[in-house]
Amino acid sequence: TYVVTENCIKCKYTDCVEVCPVDCFHEGPNFLAIDPDECIDCTLCEPECPAEAIYSEDDLPEEMHHFLELNAELAQQWPVITEMKEPPPDAEEWDGKPNKLELLER
Ligand code: SF4
Ligand code: F3S
Instruction: Domain 2-82: state its class.
Output: alpha beta
Tell me which of 1, 2, 12 to substitute to probe ligand 2's pocket, judged by most ligand atoms within 8 Å of the beta carbon. Answer: 12
pTM over 0.90: yes
Distance of alpha carbon 80 from alpha carbon 14, whole angstroms:
12
ipTM higher than the 0.85 cut: yes
Beta carbon of 17 within 6 Å of any ligand 1 atom = no
AA letter at 17 = V
Radius of gyration (C-alpha) of the chain in whole angstroms:
12
As a whole number of angstroms, the distance between CA 97 and CA 28 comes to: 19
Q: Give yes or no for residue 53 CB within 6 A of ligand 1.
A: no
Say yes or no: CB of residue 13 within 6 Å of ligand 2. yes
Check if the beta carbon of residue 26 is closer than 8 Å to that of residue 81. yes
d(CA 77, CA 83): 19
What pLDDT is recorded for position 78? Answer: 98
Q: Tens digit of pLDDT per residue, the chain (106 long)?
A: 999 999 999 999 999 999 999 999 999 999 999 999 999 999 999 999 999 999 999 999 999 999 999 999 999 999 999 999 999 999 999 999 999 999 999 9
Query: What is the distance between the alpha carbons of residues 46 and 58, in angstroms, rounded to a whole number?
Result: 13
